[in-house]
Amino acid sequence: MDIEKRFAEIDAREPEDASAADLAAIRAAENEDTVSLEAFKAGLEGYSGKLVLRIPRSLHRALKQEAEAEGVSLNQYMLYKLAR
């Protein structure tokens, strides 16, 4: 199907009203734990995102080999390992 035709069909539809479940999900997302993007960014002030860590050369080599085996950069691999 032609993508432009499909978008035209979607745009021609009548807007739907939010269901009770939709409204409940919106209210849950608006709880007191929600912070604005500006507040989130302000909370990161003082953190550069860079970290220098000295490790044994053998560990460095092993991590680099694992990253290559996964087909990703060492930085990406380390982010993956640290986030687990």
Report pLDDT digits (tens) over 29-79: 776 677 788 888 999 999 999 999 999 999 999 999 999 999 999 999 999
Return the DSSP state at 17.
P
pTM: 0.51
Report the pLDDT value the prediction gives residue 1, as an integer from 0 to 100.
Answer: 61
Q: What's the rounded Cα separation, in Å, for the pair 17 and 38?
A: 30
Helix (H) or strand (E) holding 4: helix 3-12
Q: Looking at the predicted structure, is the pLDDT value of residue 24 above 70?
A: yes
pLDDT at 26 over 90: no
Query: Tokens 């986030």 identify what position?
Result: 83
Cβ-contact 74, 63 below 8 angstroms: yes
Helix axes 74-83, 57-70, angle to 10 degrees: 100
Does 31 or 24 have the greater pLDDT score?
24
